[in-house]
Amino acid sequence: MKLLETVSSQIAIAVENARLYEETVNHAEIMEDRVRERTAELNESQRALMNLFEDLNIKSDELQKANLRLQELDQLKSMFIASMSHELRTPLNSIIGFTGIILQGMSGKITEEQRKQLSMVQSSGRHLLALINDVIDISKIEAGKVELSIKEFDLSGVIRSVKDSFDPALAEKGLKLSIEMPEKLGIKSDERRTKQVLMNLLSNAIKFTDQGGVRITAQRVKSWEFGVPPTPSLPLGVGRVREGVSEDFIQISVKDTGVGIKKEDMVYLFEPFYKIPVGGRFLQEGTGLGLYLSKKVVDLLGGRLEAESEYGKGSRFVFTLPLMRVESP
Protein backbone atom coordinates (compact mmCIF):
# COMPACT_ATOMS: atom_id res chain seq x y z
CA MET A 1 0.00 0.00 0.00
CA LYS A 2 2.79 2.35 0.89
CA LEU A 3 4.51 1.45 -2.36
CA LEU A 4 1.42 2.44 -4.33
CA GLU A 5 1.20 5.73 -2.46
CA THR A 6 4.85 6.42 -3.19
CA VAL A 7 4.49 5.57 -6.87
CA SER A 8 1.31 7.67 -7.10
CA SER A 9 3.06 10.62 -5.47
CA GLN A 10 6.03 10.31 -7.84
CA ILE A 11 3.70 10.13 -10.84
CA ALA A 12 1.86 13.26 -9.66
CA ILE A 13 5.14 15.09 -9.23
CA ALA A 14 6.30 13.99 -12.68
CA VAL A 15 3.03 15.12 -14.26
CA GLU A 16 3.27 18.52 -12.49
CA ASN A 17 6.89 18.90 -13.59
CA ALA A 18 5.93 18.07 -17.16
CA ARG A 19 3.14 20.64 -17.04
CA LEU A 20 5.45 23.28 -15.61
CA TYR A 21 8.10 22.46 -18.20
CA GLU A 22 5.56 22.81 -21.00
CA GLU A 23 4.40 26.16 -19.59
CA THR A 24 8.01 27.33 -19.32
CA VAL A 25 8.73 26.31 -22.90
CA ASN A 26 5.58 28.05 -24.12
CA HIS A 27 6.41 31.17 -22.12
CA ALA A 28 9.97 31.17 -23.48
CA GLU A 29 8.67 30.84 -27.02
CA ILE A 30 6.25 33.73 -26.42
CA MET A 31 9.07 35.86 -24.99
CA GLU A 32 11.32 34.97 -27.92
CA ASP A 33 8.56 36.01 -30.33
CA ARG A 34 8.13 39.29 -28.46
CA VAL A 35 11.88 39.91 -28.44
CA ARG A 36 12.04 39.26 -32.18
CA GLU A 37 9.10 41.63 -32.75
CA ARG A 38 10.67 44.36 -30.59
CA THR A 39 14.04 43.84 -32.28
CA ALA A 40 12.41 44.19 -35.68
CA GLU A 41 10.59 47.33 -34.51
CA LEU A 42 13.81 48.79 -33.12
CA ASN A 43 15.66 48.00 -36.34
CA GLU A 44 12.89 49.67 -38.33
CA SER A 45 13.00 52.71 -36.02
CA GLN A 46 16.77 52.87 -36.35
CA ARG A 47 16.51 52.78 -40.14
CA ALA A 48 13.87 55.52 -40.00
CA LEU A 49 16.08 57.62 -37.72
CA MET A 50 19.06 57.14 -40.02
CA ASN A 51 16.96 58.20 -43.00
CA LEU A 52 15.69 61.20 -41.05
CA PHE A 53 19.25 62.08 -40.02
CA GLU A 54 20.39 61.92 -43.65
CA ASP A 55 17.44 64.08 -44.72
CA LEU A 56 18.25 66.60 -42.00
CA ASN A 57 21.88 66.75 -43.11
CA ILE A 58 20.78 67.36 -46.68
CA LYS A 59 18.32 70.05 -45.58
CA SER A 60 20.96 71.64 -43.35
CA ASP A 61 23.41 71.83 -46.25
CA GLU A 62 20.72 73.32 -48.46
CA LEU A 63 19.82 75.90 -45.78
CA GLN A 64 23.48 76.85 -45.31
CA LYS A 65 23.90 77.34 -49.04
CA ALA A 66 20.66 79.35 -49.20
CA ASN A 67 21.76 81.46 -46.22
CA LEU A 68 25.12 82.20 -47.82
CA ARG A 69 23.36 83.13 -51.04
CA LEU A 70 20.98 85.44 -49.16
CA GLN A 71 23.92 87.10 -47.42
CA GLU A 72 25.61 87.64 -50.78
CA LEU A 73 22.40 89.07 -52.25
CA ASP A 74 21.93 91.31 -49.20
CA GLN A 75 25.46 92.65 -49.58
CA LEU A 76 24.91 93.21 -53.30
CA LYS A 77 21.64 95.01 -52.52
CA SER A 78 23.35 97.28 -49.99
CA MET A 79 26.22 97.97 -52.41
CA PHE A 80 23.76 98.72 -55.21
CA ILE A 81 21.65 101.04 -53.04
CA ALA A 82 24.72 102.87 -51.75
CA SER A 83 26.18 103.20 -55.26
CA MET A 84 22.93 104.42 -56.82
CA SER A 85 22.32 106.77 -53.91
CA HIS A 86 25.74 108.37 -54.38
CA GLU A 87 25.10 108.69 -58.12
CA LEU A 88 21.78 110.42 -57.41
CA ARG A 89 23.12 112.64 -54.64
CA THR A 90 25.75 114.35 -56.81
CA PRO A 91 23.41 115.84 -59.44
CA LEU A 92 20.77 116.49 -56.79
CA ASN A 93 23.17 118.67 -54.81
CA SER A 94 23.80 120.65 -58.00
CA ILE A 95 20.06 121.13 -58.56
CA ILE A 96 19.55 122.34 -54.99
CA GLY A 97 22.60 124.58 -55.13
CA PHE A 98 21.78 126.26 -58.44
CA THR A 99 18.14 126.67 -57.40
CA GLY A 100 19.36 128.50 -54.30
CA ILE A 101 21.55 130.77 -56.44
CA ILE A 102 18.57 131.69 -58.63
CA LEU A 103 16.35 132.29 -55.59
CA GLN A 104 18.97 134.66 -54.15
CA GLY A 105 18.80 136.70 -57.34
CA MET A 106 22.44 136.09 -58.18
CA SER A 107 21.57 135.28 -61.79
CA GLY A 108 19.04 138.08 -62.23
CA LYS A 109 15.60 139.08 -61.04
CA ILE A 110 12.78 136.54 -60.94
CA THR A 111 9.02 136.95 -60.61
CA GLU A 112 7.04 135.89 -57.54
CA GLU A 113 5.55 132.98 -59.47
CA GLN A 114 9.03 131.84 -60.49
CA ARG A 115 10.19 132.20 -56.89
CA LYS A 116 7.25 130.08 -55.73
CA GLN A 117 7.95 127.36 -58.28
CA LEU A 118 11.70 127.34 -57.60
CA SER A 119 11.07 127.14 -53.86
CA MET A 120 8.97 124.04 -54.48
CA VAL A 121 11.81 122.55 -56.55
CA GLN A 122 14.30 123.32 -53.79
CA SER A 123 12.03 121.89 -51.08
CA SER A 124 11.39 118.70 -53.07
CA GLY A 125 15.11 118.39 -53.80
CA ARG A 126 15.98 118.66 -50.12
CA HIS A 127 13.30 116.12 -49.27
CA LEU A 128 14.72 113.68 -51.83
CA LEU A 129 18.28 114.34 -50.63
CA ALA A 130 17.23 113.59 -47.04
CA LEU A 131 15.68 110.32 -48.20
CA ILE A 132 18.83 109.38 -50.12
CA ASN A 133 21.06 110.20 -47.14
CA ASP A 134 18.85 108.10 -44.86
CA VAL A 135 18.91 105.18 -47.30
CA ILE A 136 22.72 105.38 -47.51
CA ASP A 137 23.03 105.39 -43.72
CA ILE A 138 20.64 102.47 -43.30
CA SER A 139 22.37 100.42 -46.00
CA LYS A 140 25.71 101.02 -44.26
CA ILE A 141 24.34 100.05 -40.86
CA GLU A 142 22.68 96.88 -42.19
CA ALA A 143 25.87 95.96 -44.04
CA GLY A 144 27.91 96.54 -40.87
CA LYS A 145 30.08 99.15 -42.60
CA VAL A 146 29.42 102.16 -40.38
CA GLU A 147 32.60 103.69 -39.02
CA LEU A 148 32.11 105.51 -35.73
CA SER A 149 34.27 108.45 -34.74
CA ILE A 150 34.45 108.11 -30.97
CA LYS A 151 35.80 111.14 -29.16
CA GLU A 152 35.03 113.40 -26.23
CA PHE A 153 32.76 116.38 -26.94
CA ASP A 154 30.43 118.82 -25.20
CA LEU A 155 26.85 117.60 -25.63
CA SER A 156 25.44 120.91 -24.39
CA GLY A 157 27.19 122.69 -27.26
CA VAL A 158 25.75 120.22 -29.76
CA ILE A 159 22.23 120.75 -28.39
CA ARG A 160 22.60 124.53 -28.66
CA SER A 161 23.85 124.17 -32.25
CA VAL A 162 20.87 121.98 -33.18
CA LYS A 163 18.50 124.46 -31.55
CA ASP A 164 19.97 127.34 -33.56
CA SER A 165 19.46 125.46 -36.83
CA PHE A 166 15.75 125.03 -36.04
CA ASP A 167 15.11 128.63 -34.93
CA PRO A 168 13.54 129.61 -38.31
CA ALA A 169 11.15 126.62 -38.23
CA LEU A 170 10.19 127.39 -34.63
CA ALA A 171 9.59 131.06 -35.44
CA GLU A 172 7.51 130.18 -38.50
CA LYS A 173 5.12 128.08 -36.38
CA GLY A 174 5.25 130.37 -33.36
CA LEU A 175 6.57 127.63 -31.08
CA LYS A 176 8.72 127.98 -28.00
CA LEU A 177 11.74 125.78 -27.36
CA SER A 178 13.04 125.42 -23.82
CA ILE A 179 16.27 123.66 -22.88
CA GLU A 180 17.23 122.28 -19.49
CA MET A 181 20.81 121.04 -19.24
CA PRO A 182 24.14 121.82 -17.56
CA GLU A 183 26.32 124.54 -19.07
CA LYS A 184 28.74 121.81 -20.13
CA LEU A 185 27.95 118.12 -20.43
CA GLY A 186 30.87 116.00 -21.55
CA ILE A 187 30.41 112.64 -23.25
CA LYS A 188 32.60 110.25 -25.20
CA SER A 189 30.70 109.03 -28.26
CA ASP A 190 30.18 109.81 -31.95
CA GLU A 191 29.32 113.52 -32.14
CA ARG A 192 27.93 113.50 -35.69
CA ARG A 193 25.68 110.50 -35.06
CA THR A 194 24.46 111.92 -31.75
CA LYS A 195 23.60 115.18 -33.49
CA GLN A 196 21.85 113.25 -36.26
CA VAL A 197 19.53 111.54 -33.77
CA LEU A 198 18.80 114.80 -31.94
CA MET A 199 17.97 116.58 -35.21
CA ASN A 200 15.60 113.80 -36.27
CA LEU A 201 13.75 113.91 -32.95
CA LEU A 202 13.54 117.71 -32.86
CA SER A 203 12.42 117.86 -36.49
CA ASN A 204 9.57 115.44 -35.75
CA ALA A 205 8.59 117.35 -32.60
CA ILE A 206 8.31 120.64 -34.52
CA LYS A 207 6.57 119.01 -37.48
CA PHE A 208 3.77 117.56 -35.35
CA THR A 209 3.32 120.50 -32.97
CA ASP A 210 1.12 123.46 -33.90
CA GLN A 211 0.60 124.99 -30.46
CA GLY A 212 2.69 125.13 -27.31
CA GLY A 213 6.29 124.15 -27.76
CA VAL A 214 9.12 121.69 -27.37
CA ARG A 215 11.30 120.96 -24.38
CA ILE A 216 14.78 119.41 -24.49
CA THR A 217 16.43 118.07 -21.35
CA ALA A 218 19.85 116.48 -20.99
CA GLN A 219 21.26 115.03 -17.80
CA ARG A 220 23.40 112.33 -16.32
CA VAL A 221 21.55 109.34 -14.91
CA LYS A 222 22.76 106.63 -12.56
CA SER A 223 23.09 103.11 -13.87
CA TRP A 224 20.25 101.77 -11.70
CA GLU A 225 17.94 104.58 -12.90
CA PHE A 226 18.64 103.36 -16.41
CA GLY A 227 17.83 99.79 -15.40
CA VAL A 228 21.47 98.63 -15.42
CA PRO A 229 23.05 97.35 -12.19
CA PRO A 230 26.41 98.83 -11.15
CA THR A 231 29.29 96.84 -12.69
CA PRO A 232 32.50 97.65 -10.80
CA SER A 233 34.34 94.75 -12.45
CA LEU A 234 34.02 96.17 -15.96
CA PRO A 235 36.90 98.04 -17.63
CA LEU A 236 36.99 101.82 -17.52
CA GLY A 237 34.41 103.26 -19.86
CA VAL A 238 32.15 100.21 -19.95
CA GLY A 239 29.24 100.81 -17.61
CA ARG A 240 31.17 103.26 -15.41
CA VAL A 241 33.40 106.29 -15.58
CA ARG A 242 35.71 105.59 -12.69
CA GLU A 243 35.69 103.55 -9.50
CA GLY A 244 32.94 104.65 -7.12
CA VAL A 245 31.05 106.79 -9.66
CA SER A 246 27.70 105.39 -10.85
CA GLU A 247 26.54 108.25 -13.10
CA ASP A 248 27.19 106.14 -16.15
CA PHE A 249 24.74 107.39 -18.79
CA ILE A 250 23.54 110.59 -20.36
CA GLN A 251 19.83 110.87 -21.09
CA ILE A 252 18.44 113.28 -23.69
CA SER A 253 14.71 113.91 -23.83
CA VAL A 254 12.68 115.70 -26.51
CA LYS A 255 9.12 116.43 -25.40
CA ASP A 256 6.44 118.20 -27.43
CA THR A 257 2.83 119.32 -27.04
CA GLY A 258 1.85 118.07 -30.47
CA VAL A 259 -0.75 115.68 -31.85
CA GLY A 260 0.56 112.64 -30.00
CA ILE A 261 0.42 109.04 -31.18
CA LYS A 262 -2.35 106.50 -30.70
CA LYS A 263 -1.55 103.40 -28.64
CA GLU A 264 -2.21 101.07 -31.56
CA ASP A 265 0.33 102.97 -33.67
CA MET A 266 3.12 102.88 -31.09
CA VAL A 267 4.19 99.35 -32.07
CA TYR A 268 5.03 100.57 -35.59
CA LEU A 269 6.86 103.69 -34.44
CA PHE A 270 10.39 102.48 -35.18
CA GLU A 271 9.52 100.58 -38.35
CA PRO A 272 10.99 101.81 -41.68
CA PHE A 273 8.80 104.09 -43.79
CA TYR A 274 6.29 104.45 -40.96
CA LYS A 275 4.48 107.79 -40.95
CA ILE A 276 2.37 109.03 -38.06
CA PRO A 277 -1.30 109.32 -39.10
CA VAL A 278 -2.74 112.74 -38.25
CA GLY A 279 -6.48 113.36 -38.46
CA GLY A 280 -7.05 110.03 -40.19
CA ARG A 281 -4.47 110.68 -42.92
CA PHE A 282 -0.72 110.31 -43.36
CA LEU A 283 1.38 113.42 -43.79
CA GLN A 284 3.33 113.43 -47.04
CA GLU A 285 6.22 115.39 -45.54
CA GLY A 286 9.13 113.32 -44.28
CA THR A 287 10.77 110.09 -45.40
CA GLY A 288 9.38 107.75 -42.77
CA LEU A 289 12.94 106.63 -42.04
CA GLY A 290 13.96 109.12 -39.35
CA LEU A 291 12.91 107.18 -36.25
CA TYR A 292 13.98 103.84 -37.72
CA LEU A 293 17.42 105.24 -38.50
CA SER A 294 17.66 107.01 -35.14
CA LYS A 295 17.02 103.77 -33.27
CA LYS A 296 19.61 101.95 -35.36
CA VAL A 297 22.17 104.68 -34.62
CA VAL A 298 21.42 104.73 -30.88
CA ASP A 299 21.75 100.93 -30.76
CA LEU A 300 25.05 101.26 -32.60
CA LEU A 301 26.27 103.73 -29.96
CA GLY A 302 25.42 101.28 -27.17
CA GLY A 303 22.32 103.11 -25.95
CA ARG A 304 18.58 102.83 -26.37
CA LEU A 305 15.76 104.96 -27.77
CA GLU A 306 12.28 104.88 -26.28
CA ALA A 307 9.03 106.79 -26.72
CA GLU A 308 5.90 107.55 -24.78
CA SER A 309 2.88 109.42 -26.06
CA GLU A 310 -0.68 110.45 -25.27
CA TYR A 311 -2.86 111.02 -28.27
CA GLY A 312 -3.90 114.65 -28.54
CA LYS A 313 -1.46 115.82 -25.87
CA GLY A 314 2.02 115.20 -27.20
CA SER A 315 4.96 112.81 -27.22
CA ARG A 316 8.25 112.32 -25.44
CA PHE A 317 11.27 110.64 -27.00
CA VAL A 318 14.20 109.68 -24.81
CA PHE A 319 17.55 108.33 -25.90
CA THR A 320 20.18 107.28 -23.43
CA LEU A 321 23.86 106.87 -24.27
CA PRO A 322 26.79 105.51 -22.26
CA LEU A 323 28.82 108.34 -20.80
CA MET A 324 31.88 106.71 -22.34
CA ARG A 325 31.39 104.65 -25.50
CA VAL A 326 34.36 102.31 -25.92
CA GLU A 327 35.26 101.22 -29.44
CA SER A 328 35.37 97.52 -30.16
CA PRO A 329 38.91 96.13 -30.26
Residue 57: domain span:
1-146
Same domain, 109 and 26: yes
- With cut-offs at 50, 70 and 90, classify the pLDDT of residue 87: confident
Predicted model pTM: 0.65
- With cut-offs at 50, 70 and 90, classify the pLDDT of residue 285: low
Q: Would the pLDDT of 238 be above 50?
A: no
Same domain, 71 and 184: no
Residue 329 lies in a domain: no
Amino acid 295: pLDDT: 94
Q: Between residues 287 and 227, which one has the greater pLDDT? A: 287
Same domain, 141 and 156: no
The residue out of 146, 180, 215 marking a domain boundary is: 146
Asked if 320 contacts 251 with a C-beta cutoff of 8 angstroms, the reply is: yes
Asked if 292 contacts 256 with a C-beta cutoff of 8 angstroms, the reply is: no
* Residue 208 vs residues 2, 34, 73, 265, 294: alpha-carbon distances, Å: 121, 79, 38, 15, 17
In the chain, the number of structural domains is 2
Burial 186-206 (b: 16+ CB within 10 A, else e): ebbbbbebbbbbbbbbbbbbb
Residue 251, amino acid = Q
Amino acid 27: pLDDT: 77
